[in-house]
C-alpha cells in the first residue's frame, strides 16, 4: 500500500514521535500487530479504522495507560520501552480519552488543571485558586464553552463535559495532542470550533492525532491519514489524496456502496407515541408536544443542552415528568420508571453507554438478555442456552466483533459496545425505539448497518426517535426532523425542507426558511 511519496511517513523526515513494531495482544484478540508510524511536528494525523481496529489501544499506549508487548516508542528522540502516564505527560503528550474521565465533585477549573495546579504557600503546596481560574478561562473560550470555570462538572451535559476534556488537553501545552473521538457527542457548531482549534495548534507547531468516525471532519483537518485494520497499518493518504471514499476503501478493504438515495417518503402510520405538554426537570418551564408515528424515523436535532436527552429520559421513565401526559397507541402511560416503558415496548439506547447503556463487567450474552430475562427463563430459572442463542443471533445480525458472546463487554472496542446496547433491544419487540446519539463512536461501515437496522425497524412499523448531533445523519436518515431549542420544540421539518441551514435556524430558535430547501449551506 505504501506509495512513492510515502504518506505513512516512515522514511527519514524530522519527526516528533516514532512508533516501531508496536504489538499488543489481549486474550483472544490481537489489538495491535507490528504497528509503526511517524508524526512530524505541526502535523495533523487523522487516524481511521473500523471499530475494534486498535486505534484507542494505540493511543492508550502513547498515553502510558497500557504497555505494549513489544516495540519501540521514540518521543522527541528519546527511546522508551513503554510510557507511563507521567512519562507520557512529561514527554509532551496530551490525551483526550474516548471515554470521559472527569470528576463531577470538582469544578471545571479543577478538572482542567488537575495534577498541574498553580501553587502558592511554598512547602504547604496550597492551590492558588485565583490563578487557577484565570488560567482556565482562555482555554474555555478557545473551545467555545458556554459555562464558567467554576461551574461544577456535575451540572454539565455530556457535550459540555467533552469540551472540558478538550480544554484540559489544550491547557497542557503539549507537543502532541491526541484526540480520541473528541467530537462523538459534539454538535456541529462546537465541532467546527474544535477543527479551528486543531488548525491553531498546527500553526504553533504542535502535532495532533485525531481519531474520528466522522470522516468529513478528518477530511477537513488532517494533513495525513493513516488507516488501521485488525491492529495493522493498512494504508496512508497524503493531504491531496484524502477523500471520503478513499478512506472508506482503506478502512474496510472495499468500497462502500454509495449512500443509498433516501427511500421515497412513505405515508407515516398512526401515531404511536404522543407527548402532550410534557416538561422535563432540566427545563421545568417548557412544554413539549411530540407525535411519533409508526413506521417513521423522527430525527431530533438541537444544540448542546437543548434538552433532547432529558426528553428521552422522561419518555423512557427514568426521570419523572413534571407535567403533561404521554400516550402510547392512544392509551395514557404512567411511566413512573423505566420498567414501565420497557413493559410497553418503549426502548432507549442512552447516550452515555459506559454509565447507563451496558454493564461492562458482564458477558455480551448477559447484557443482551438482561432486559428480557423472564423470556429466557423457565420457572424463574435462567436458561443459558436460550440466552446464548439469542446473543449469537444478534452478534451475527449486528456483526459484533468479539471472540464469543461470553466475552466481557468491557473489553470490546467502543463501537462494538454500542452495538451490544442496540442488540439487547433489537432482541425484543420494540414498539417505540428512542436512540440517543446511536452512532456515537461507530465506524462508517457499522453506521450504515445501524441506519439500515433503523430503517428496517421503521419498515416493520416501529416508531423510531433518533436524537443526533450529527447533521449529516439527521438529514440523511430521518423521515421527519424535529428541532429542539432550550427545552421546547422550535419546529418540524418535512423531507422537502431538510437542509442544514433550516435545522440550524430552528436550533437557535429562529423560524426555518422554506425557500432555502436543499441548498448546501456552509456550517456557521
Ligand X SMILES: Nc1ncnc2c1ncn2[C@@H]1O[C@H](COP(=O)(O)OP(=O)(O)OP(=O)(O)O)[C@@H](O)[C@H]1O
Q: Which does 148 bind (CB under 5 to 8 A by kind): ligand X, Mg ion, another protein, none?
A: none
C-beta pairs of 266-271 under 8 Å, 24+ apart in sequence: 266/295, 266/296, 266/479, 268/293, 268/294, 268/295, 268/296, 268/479, 268/480, 269/293, 269/294, 269/295, 269/296, 269/461, 270/294, 270/329, 271/330
Is 87 near ligand X (CB under 6 A)? no
Nearer to another protein, 170 or 215 (CB): 170
C-beta atoms surrounding 264 within 10 Å:
6
**Element containing residue 409 per DSSP (H, E):** none
- CB 414 → Mg ion: shortest distance, Å? 4
Q: Is 100 exposed, middle or buried (0-12, 13-18, 19+ CB in 10 A)?
A: middle
Q: What is the largest CA-CA distance in the chain?
A: 73
Determine if 56 is a binding residue for ligand X (CB under 6 A). yes
306 binds ligand X per the rule CB under 6 A: yes
| Residue 465 near ligand X by CB under 6 A | no
**Alpha-carbon gap, residue 464 to 450, rounded angstroms:** 12
One DSSP character per residue, 317-368 reads: TSSPPSEEEEEETTEEE---SHHHHHHTTEEEE-S-IIIII--TTSBHHHHH
Q: Binding to ligand X by residue 61, rule CB under 6 A?
A: no
Q: Which is nearer to another protein, 96 or 481 (CB)?
A: 96
User: Which CB, 114 or 399, lies closer to another protein?
Assistant: 114
Q: How far is the CB of 489 from ligand X (least distance, A)?
A: 12
Neighbours of 25 (CB within 10 A): 14
Minimum CB distance to ligand X smaller for 181 or for 497: 181
Determine how β-strand 232-238 pairs with β-strand 224-229.
antiparallel
Count the neighbouring beta carbons within 10 Å of the beta carbon of residue 13.
10
Sign of the torsion angle spanned by Cα atoms 311, 317, 321, 324 = positive
Q: Which spans of this chain sit near another protein (rule: CB under 8 A)?
A: 23, 25-28, 30, 33, 63, 65, 69-70, 85-86, 89, 95, 97, 101-106, 110, 114-117, 119, 121, 124-127, 279, 281, 284-286, 316, 318, 322-323, 337-339, 341-343, 348, 350, 355-362, 366, 370-371, 373-374, 377, 380-382, 424
Residues 311 and 335: their CA atoms lie apart, in Å, by 13
Which stretches of the chain bind Mg ion, using CB under 5 A? 56, 98, 309, 351, 414
Q: Could you tell me the smallest distance in angstroms from the CB atom of residue 440 to ligand X?
A: 10
Which of 366, 367, 409, 413: binder of ligand X (CB under 6 A)? 413
Judged by CB under 6 A, the residue of 155, 196, 339, 404 near ligand X is: 155
Strand partners, 38: 18
Binders in 223-242 for ligand X, by CB under 6 A: none
411 binds, among ligand X, Mg ion, another protein, none (CB under 5 to 8 A by kind): ligand X
To the nearest whole angstrom, how small is the minimum distance from the Cβ of residue 194 to another protein? 20
> Is 208 in a helix, a strand, or coil?
strand
Residue in 426, 476, 500, 514 with CA at minimum distance from that of residue 192: 500
Contact of residue 470 among ligand X, another protein, Mg ion, none (CB under 5-8 Å per partner type): none
Closer residue to ligand X in complex, CB, 205/323: 323
C-alpha to C-alpha distance for 305 and 441, rounded to whole angstroms: 20
Residue 333 Cβ, how far from ligand X at the closest point, in Å? 20
Distance CA 516, CA 294 (A): 29
Least distance CB 422 / another protein (angstroms): 13
Closest to another protein by CB, 144 or 182: 182
Taking CB under 6 A as the binding criterion, the range among 5-13, 166-174, 250-258, 405-413 that sits at the site for ligand X is 405-413
Question: 270 is in the binding site of which of another protein, Mg ion, ligand X, none (Cβ under 5 to 8 A by kind)?
Answer: none
Q: Scanning the structure block, which residue is given the C-alpha cell 430552528?
A: 506
DSSP 3-state assignment of 141?
A: helix
Which window, 78-86, 304-312, 421-429, 497-505, contacts ligand X (CB under 6 A)?
Answer: 304-312
| From the list Mg ion, ligand X, another protein, none, partner contacted by residue 126 (C-beta under 5 to 8 A by kind) | another protein
Between CA 185 and CA 331 the distance in angstroms is: 34
Instruction: Report the residue number, 238 or 372, with the smaller CB distance to another protein.
Output: 372
Residues 14-53 that bind ligand X (CB under 6 A): 26, 29, 31, 49, 51-53
Q: Is 352 exposed, middle or buried (0-12, 13-18, 19+ CB in 10 A)?
A: middle
Q: Which of 157, 468, 478, 502 binds ligand X (CB under 6 A)?
A: 157
Using rule CB under 6 A, residue 304 touches ligand X? yes
Residue 8 or 468: which CB sits closer to Mg ion?
A: 468
Q: What is the DSSP letter of 295?
A: T
Regarding 443 and contact with ligand X (CB under 6 A), the answer is yes
Q: Nearer to another protein by C-beta: 260 or 361?
A: 361
d(CA 9, CA 365): 42
Strands 463-467 and 297-302: parallel
88 binds ligand X (CB under 6 A): no
Binding site for ligand X (CB under 6 A): 26, 29, 31, 49, 51-57, 98, 155-159, 187, 282, 302, 304-310, 351, 401, 411-415, 441, 443, 469
Amino acid at each position: 500500500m505504501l506509495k512513492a511519496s510515502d504518506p505513512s511517513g516512515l522514511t527519514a523526515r524530522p519527526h516528533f514521535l516514532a512508533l516501531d513494531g508496536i504489538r499488543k495482544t489481549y486474550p483472544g484478540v490481537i489489538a495491535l500487530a507490528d504497528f509503526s508510524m511517524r508524526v512530524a511536528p505541526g502535523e495533523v494525523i487523522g487516524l481511521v479504522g473500523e471499530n475494534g481496529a486498535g486505534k484507542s489501544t494505540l493511543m492508550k499506549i502513547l498515553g502510558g495507560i497500557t504497555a505494549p508487548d513489544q516495540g519501540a516508542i521514540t518521543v522527541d528522540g528519546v527511546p522508551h520501552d513503554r510510557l507511563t502516564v507521567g512519562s507520557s505527560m512529561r514527554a509532551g503528550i496530551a490525551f483526550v480519552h474516548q471515554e470521559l474521565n472527569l470528576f463531577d465533585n470538582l469544578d471545571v477549573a479543577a478538572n482542567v488543571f488537575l495534577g498541574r495546579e498553580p501553587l502558592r504557600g511554598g512547602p504547604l503546596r496550597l492551590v492558588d485558586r485565583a490563578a487557577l481560574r484565570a488560567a482556565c478561562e482562555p482555554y474555555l473560550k478557545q473551545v467555545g464553552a458556554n459555562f464558567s470555570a467554576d461551574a461544577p462538572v456535575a451540572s454539565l451535559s455530556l457535550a459540555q463535559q467533552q469540551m472540558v476534556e478538550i480544554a484540559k488537553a489544550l491547557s497542557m501545552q503539549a507537543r502532541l495532542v491526541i484526540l480520541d473521538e473528541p467530537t462523538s457527542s459534539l454538535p456541529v457548531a462546537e465541532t467546527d470550533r474544535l477543527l479551528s482549534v486543531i488548525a491553531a495548534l498546527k500553526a504553533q507547531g504542535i502535532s495532533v492525532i485525531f481519531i474520528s468516525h466522522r470522516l468529513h471532519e478528518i477530511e477537513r483537518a488532517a494533513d495525513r491519514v493513516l488507516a488501521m485494520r485488525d491492529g495493522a497499518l493498512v494504508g496512508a493518504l497524503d493531504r491531496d489524496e484524502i477523500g471520503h471514499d478513499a478512506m472508506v476503501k482503506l478502512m474496510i478493504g472495499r468500497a462502500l456502496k454509495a449512500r443509498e438515495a433516501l427511500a421515497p417518503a412513505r405515508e407515516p402510520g398512526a401515531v404511536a407515541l404522543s407527548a402532550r405538554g410534557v416538561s422535563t426537570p432540566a427545563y421545568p418551564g417548557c412544554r413539549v408536544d411530540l407525535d411519533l408515528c409508526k413506521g417513521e424515523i423522527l430525527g431530533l436535532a438541537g444544540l448542546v443542552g437543548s434538552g433532547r436527552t432529558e426528553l428521552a429520559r422522561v419518555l423512557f421513565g427514568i426521570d419523572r415528568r413534571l407535567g403533561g401526559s404521554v400516550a402510547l397507541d392512544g392509551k395514557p402511560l404512567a411511566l413512573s420508571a423505566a420498567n414501565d416503558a420497557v413493559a410497553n415496548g418503549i426502548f432507549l439506547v442512552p447516550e452515555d453507554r459506559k454509565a447507563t447503556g451496558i454493564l461492562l463487567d458482564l458477558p455480551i450474552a448477559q447484557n443482551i438478555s438482561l432486559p428480557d430475562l423472564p423470556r429466557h427463563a423457565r420457572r424463574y430459572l435462567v436458561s443459558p442456552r436460550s440466552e446464548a442463542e439469542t446473543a449469537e443471533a444478534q452478534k451475527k445480525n449486528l456483526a459484533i466483533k468479539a471472540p464469543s458472546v461470553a466475552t466481557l463487554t468491557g473489553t470490546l472496542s467502543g463501537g462494538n459496545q454500542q452495538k451490544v446496547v442496540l442488540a439487547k433491544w433489537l432482541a425484543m419487540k420494540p414498539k417505540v425505539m428512542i436512540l440517543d446519539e446511536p452512532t456515537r463512536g461507530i465506524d462508517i461501515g457499522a453506521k450504515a448497518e445501524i441506519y439500515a437496522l433503523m430503517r428496517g425497524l421503521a419498515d416493520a412499523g416501529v416508531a423510531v426517535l433518533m436524537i443526533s448531533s450529527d447533521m449529516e445523519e439527521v438529514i440523511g436518515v430521518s423521515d421527519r426532523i424535529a428541532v429542539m431549542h432550550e427545552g421546547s420544540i422550535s419546529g418540524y421539518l418535512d423531507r422537502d425542507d431538510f437542509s442544514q441551514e433550516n435545522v440550524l435556524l430552528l436550533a437557535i430558535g429562529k423560524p426555518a426558511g422554506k425557500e432555502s430547501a436543499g441548498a448546501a449551506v456552509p456550517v456557521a
